[in-house]
Structure 1
Amino acid sequence: MESYDEVIAFLGEWGYYQWTIFFSLSSIVIPNGYLALLMVFLADTPQHHCRLNNSSNVSFMNLSFQLPMEEMAGEKTYSKCTRYRIDKDARFNGTAVEHCVDGWVFSTERYTSTIVTQWDLVCDQNWKGPFTTSVFFIGVLFGSIISGQLSDRHGRKPVLFGAIAIRSTAGFLQLASQSWEMFCTLHFFVGLGDVSSYLTAFVLGIEILGKSERVAFSTLGICMFFAIGYILLPVLAYLIRDWKMLLLTLTLPEILYVALWWIIPESPRWLFTQGRKEEAEAILKVAARRNGITHVGAIFNTTYITVDPTDTKRHSQKYLDLIATTNIKNVTVILLLIWLICTIGYYGLSLSTPNLHGDPYINCFISAASEIVVYVIVWWLIRASPRRIVIAIFLLLSGSMLLFIQLVPSTLQLVVTILVMIGKSGVTAAFTIVYIYSSELYPTVVRNMGVGVCSIASRISNIFSPYISYMVIHSGVLPFILMGSFMIISGLISLLLPETHNQPLPETIQQMQPINCSTAIKRINFCTVSHDHAAPRQD
């Protein structure tokens, strides 16, 4: 029997149709590159002190006898949350202190305004800054939960454009926020739409494009455009120092995505698994005409591997299908662990880069630009290299670099920054591969749900990632030790997964390959595969 890739081979490689899908879906993820890290600049806290004598014109360089001194990180600095009390003669007492009852004065040296200056998110309210990013990731968590099931049940295309609509609408409404609570609530919906659009665009491209285009789309396409969005963040943040104007500049271009509704089709592969053979053939015939192929007969004939409609319906609706057999359960558990650790490493290090030694704009730009190089390397490697070996190497490299930081003297902060950048590049590469790897491991009937549930696990840990950047400031090397150890563990675990390189995508759960366990490891119950594991491949 023929596989789906063999059935659509008549379309050829890299025709007009493939290039259109490649660039259309890749462009959709540009906002994903900056939305998750937007609060690095939108919620940054400028230098500040209590408003003195109800005036905002007090110089930051002339605060003697007006503000008490405090010790922070071994250095003496003016208090940011208290001031000397003013006596009846309008003079500073010099001994008694009080909280900032008249508000704060913020430095405008770096920012004209941020959400911190907008709503005074400092001192006893300083938890609200990182919590805003956490709310975004809570939205990402909910989006991961619902988008996979909705996409597998109702189709990739409607979920994709519905998610874009939610993301952009919430972004525009944030500009009119009257309070931090309103802004934060809307940021939840930005996160929900953000991850839903990314996951669905990724799966849609994987299913529409052929084998050769699929690898390029997963690296040079969707990931490269993600990096472009990431690069835009520090550049635009440097040029636009007002948070509302920056947010408007980043949100306004999303209106252009409306035109893509008439360009991006539904997944023919998904349509066929739903028993909608005629619709799938109609899309493929349109694709053939775009590629200059005029004579196309019946596409899905009796030699194509068939899917039981009853089984298809069941698999499009239940997350329990991800643990329906011993083999898919083992694959799911391992992937969940890898996704969780990759997410901690990627976002933990990305959010921490502005807090490292040097200019925050330059650090963020270098961190973003390095991803371009990483994606090119990943694309070159996975074309001819085993997936599980490559992902293991990058995770082990990243973990080793982060663990090495504890041996670097505190005076060599530049070396620490370099090691963090190398570690971040390694986990970026691993994160890129795990998306591709997961989509190849799961069969079509549960692919979007499989990738979605992996994203769910990773987003649970992501909710706490904004606080890692604060831990880096106050706890030194401890967060690097934790992240480095986790990455080394996940790199070793990834070697248990089956290889998907040069293998056709499985259509049903029974076509999945069994996990790779050595003779010794097979004795462990976790790796024991019973008779219900993958049946022989039918290609």
Structure 2
Amino acid sequence: MNFDEILCLIGGFGKFQRILYVWICLPQIFLAFHMLVSIFTGAVPPHLCRSMSAGATASSNFNLSLQSAPDGWSELSCVAPFNRSGAVALGDGHPVGTCQGGWEYSTETFQSTTVTEWDLVCDSASLNNMASSIYMFGLLVGAVVFGSLADKYGRRIIILISLAIQAVFGVAAAFAPNFYVYTALRFMVGTSISGVIMNAFVLGTEWTGSKQRMLAGIITDYFFGLGYILLAGVAYLIRDWRKLQLAISAPGFLFIFYIWVLPKSARWLMANDKTEEAWEVVRKAAQMNGKPLTKDLEMCQVYNLEGKREVKRKHSFIDLVRTPKMRKQSLIVFYLWFANVLVYYGLSLNISDFGMNIYLTQMIFGLVEMPARTITLFTLNRTRKISQLAFLAVGGTACLLTIFIPSNLSILKTVLAMIGKFGITASLSIIYVYSAEVFPTVVRQNGIGIGSMCARTGGVLAPMMYLLKSISPQAPMVLCGLCPLLGSALTLLLPETANKPLPDTIEDVEGSDLSEEDGSVKPVIFETSLRTAGAVGGTRTD
């Protein structure tokens, strides 16, 4: 029985689904906190070596400079010419960054950060970057591990486990005794982020009717954006990194009540031959939506429970590339995940230097994304394919145009970069919805998981993209332009999924080609009864 037809009868977005979305959206605020908090906890305030006064000058033989900074501070430059031995040195023979008297930091903006506590500056600055990379690697690992586990054990249990990991390790990070323990704990938080983001999204998608399915991605994006904005206020009020880490992590323990309120995915239960348990959840949803199950549907249930059924083969990520159409669609979707996140973070790093207060900049970046999320609400109702294609084309074209703008027209170049970010942000919102509709139920979480893994790979590579400036100053923006344009062209090869039933099996994707190849025929069970049930329930199903 097609689960989308069941949703038509019991309500595709009734009271049950609206309450479910409340439970899905609340954690998104805290996910944004954890994703972006390193902007503040790992910030590098103006600093100088205690062995040098603010007005001191270094040996002219090494051309060291004292840079202007807020609050009358001067910052010792960590960049100097190399001597013959290959070491960068001060006039007293100490390498730059090896401050014998210890570093002193400005407290104008931050009371403390991980940088000020563990002196992650100059020759130790790479450790700060390493922590960010390891956190992003945690997101990648979580995408792979929790994607596979969710397809095997269900969406609900993985969400609960991920929320517990996030709360426990997030709070523990606030009490980390040293940098290495802190980095390990942040890695674990990163894995949990992927577990919650992917499975909450898929759970909402699998309970939502085809006409309202886009809400699964867009509504959650709004709450992530809300967390983006709220973090600026929370960080402004809490300037100590340990207290800030504790403030964003401790509320996670409140989600313990999800054990009693978060439902299972009936679609996943049916796809995994847990029919009786699935119908129990469907009954509760129907009752809450005010559309109790009809006798015809109950008869279908009895048939499914007592009739002879074929033993279904277990599916794995190999099924994503085993058959022709599934392979083509999977590889394209994986590239779209990678390109979207690579360019999204690449642009964010490139246009973030507004010369304004860091808290105000954070809030502006959150606000800029809201129009991009909003416009997708109007386009996704009619088409997924054209929306994805168009926003990728807008983002890529705007980025490419920046390379033709003279450097003295910095405002115009910034406006084009913001248009590029607008297009990529909208495209990133769409790919969540599109992916869930392209992958069939039996491998949907595996598909989303590998897609998320490709996205995290893009996130890790985004900072490295700017190393290309040594080849050409325009190289990063050329890459930011070409990657989305290639994705836009590849999107033409994907199917249109708007207002269509979600595929449940590989056969649903391959269609008659697979049936002819392996000689299988996909049975249609109780089609007449279901149409009758639709007539009795007052809902058209054909």
1:358 Cα deviation after fit: 3.7
The aligned length equals 504
Partner of 1:274: 272
1:197 Cα deviation after fit: 0.7
| In structure 1, distance between residues paired with 2:151 and 2:375 | 32
State the Cα deviation string for residues 410-454 of structure 1 (Å, max 9, x = none).
Answer: 344333333222211211111111111111011111111111111
| In structure 2, distance between residues paired with 1:202 and 1:383 | 18
1:52 Cα deviation after fit: 1.6
Q: For structure 1, which segment, 104-113 or 262-271, has the greater mean C-alpha deviation from structure 2 after superposition?
A: 104-113
Matched position secondary structure for 1:391: helix
| In structure 2, distance between residues paired with 1:395 and 1:72 | 43
Contact 1:395 1:430 in 2 (8 A): yes
Partner of 1:340: 338
Note closer, same or farther for the CA distance 1:300–1:66 as it changes in structure 2 (3 Å cut).
farther
TM-score after normalising by structure 1: 0.85
| In structure 2, distance between residues paired with 1:276 and 1:78 | 64
Contact 1:343 1:459 in 2 (8 A): yes
1:312 Cα deviation after fit: 3.9
Partner of 2:94: 98
Matched position secondary structure for 2:414: helix
Note closer, same or farther for the CA distance 1:246–1:477 as it changes in structure 2 (3 Å cut).
farther
Structure 1 position 286 matched with structure 2 position 294: no
In the alignment, which of 370, 389, 393 is matched to residue 390 of structure 2?
393
Partner of 2:227: 229
Partner of 1:314: 314
**Percent of residue pairs identical:** 30
Q: For structure 1, which segment, 425-434 or 353-362, has the greater mean C-alpha deviation from structure 2 after superposition?
A: 353-362
Aligned residue type for 1:230: Y
Contact 2:58 2:64 in 1 (8 A): no
Q: For structure 1, which segment, 302-311 or 242-251, has the greater mean C-alpha deviation from structure 2 after superposition?
A: 302-311
In the alignment, which of 507, 511, 531 is matched to residue 504 of structure 2?
507
Note closer, same or farther for the CA distance 1:301–1:446 as it changes in structure 2 (3 Å cut).
farther
1:536 Cα deviation after fit: 9.0
Contact 1:357 1:413 in 2 (8 A): no
Question: What pairs with 1:86-165 in structure 2 (closer than 5 Å)?
Answer: 95-99=91-95, 100-165=99-164
Partner of 1:63: 56
| In structure 2, distance between residues paired with 1:141 and 1:482 | 22
Contact 1:29 1:225 in 2 (8 A): yes
Partner of 1:520: none
Partner of 2:381: 383
Partner of 1:480: 477
Contact 2:159 2:200 in 1 (8 A): yes
Matched position secondary structure for 2:492: helix
State the Cα deviation string for residues 178-219 of structure 1 (Å, max 9, x = none).
Answer: 111111111110110001111010111111122233222321
Note closer, same or farther for the CA distance 1:174–1:310 as it changes in structure 2 (3 Å cut).
farther
Partner of 1:465: 462
Note closer, same or farther for the CA distance 1:405–1:272 as it changes in structure 2 (3 Å cut).
same
| In structure 2, distance between residues paired with 1:355 and 1:311 | 58
State the Cα deviation string for residues 237-259 of structure 1 (Å, max 9, x = none).
Answer: 23322211221221122122111
| In structure 1, distance between residues paired with 2:27 and 2:343 | 24
| In structure 2, distance between residues paired with 1:275 and 1:181 | 45
In the alignment, which of 364, 369, 372 is matched to residue 374 of structure 1?
372
Partner of 1:525: none
Contact 2:205 2:213 in 1 (8 A): yes
State the Cα deviation string for residues 11-54 of structure 1 (Å, max 9, x = none).
Answer: 2254321210111112122222232222222212111121226x
| In structure 1, distance between residues paired with 2:309 and 2:243 | 51
Matched position secondary structure for 2:94: strand
Matched position secondary structure for 1:202: helix
Question: What pairs with 1:322-361 in structure 2 (closer than 5 Å)?
Answer: 322-361=320-359
Contact 1:281 1:300 in 2 (8 A): no
1:460 Cα deviation after fit: 2.1
Contact 2:37 2:231 in 1 (8 A): yes
1:473 Cα deviation after fit: 12
State the Cα deviation string for residues 466-491 of structure 1 (Å, max 9, x = none).
Answer: 44578789985432221221111111
TM-score after normalising by structure 2: 0.84
Aligned residue type for 2:170: G
Structure 1 position 410 matched with structure 2 position 426: no
Q: 5+ residue gaps in structure 2?
A: 81-89, 525-541
Note closer, same or farther for the CA distance 1:376–1:82 as it changes in structure 2 (3 Å cut).
closer
Q: 5+ residue gaps in structure 1?
A: 84-93, 515-527
Aligned residue type for 1:231: I
Contact 2:321 2:327 in 1 (8 A): yes
Matched position secondary structure for 1:354: coil
State the Cα deviation string for residues 63-109 of structure 1 (Å, max 9, x = none).
Answer: 35699753699x9x8633499xxxxxxxxxx9545341222111222
| In structure 1, distance between residues paired with 2:413 and 2:266 | 49
Note closer, same or farther for the CA distance 1:272–1:536 as it changes in structure 2 (3 Å cut).
closer
Contact 1:44 1:116 in 2 (8 A): yes
Note closer, same or farther for the CA distance 1:295–1:426 as it changes in structure 2 (3 Å cut).
closer
| In structure 1, distance between residues paired with 2:523 and 2:342 | 35
| In structure 1, distance between residues paired with 2:33 and 2:459 | 16
Partner of 1:212: 211
Contact 1:52 1:66 in 2 (8 A): no
Note closer, same or farther for the CA distance 1:78–1:511 as it changes in structure 2 (3 Å cut).
closer
Note closer, same or farther for the CA distance 1:295–1:436 as it changes in structure 2 (3 Å cut).
closer
1:297 Cα deviation after fit: 3.9
Matched position secondary structure for 2:398: helix
Contact 1:18 1:213 in 2 (8 A): no
1:305 Cα deviation after fit: 12
1:330 Cα deviation after fit: 0.9
Contact 1:50 1:80 in 2 (8 A): no
1:309 Cα deviation after fit: 6.9
Note closer, same or farther for the CA distance 1:18–1:530 as it changes in structure 2 (3 Å cut).
closer
| In structure 2, distance between residues paired with 1:335 and 1:277 | 31
| In structure 1, distance between residues paired with 2:356 and 2:372 | 22
Note closer, same or farther for the CA distance 1:412–1:280 as it changes in structure 2 (3 Å cut).
same
Note closer, same or farther for the CA distance 1:357–1:487 as it changes in structure 2 (3 Å cut).
farther
Matched position secondary structure for 2:48: strand
In the alignment, which of 440, 444, 447 is matched to residue 444 of structure 2?
447
Partner of 2:487: 490
State the Cα deviation string for residues 349-392 of structure 1 (Å, max 9, x = none).
Answer: 334443345443333222211222211111111011x2121111
Contact 1:340 1:459 in 2 (8 A): yes
Q: For structure 1, which segment, 257-266 or 302-311, has the greater mean C-alpha deviation from structure 2 after superposition?
A: 302-311
Structure 1 position 419 matched with structure 2 position 416: yes
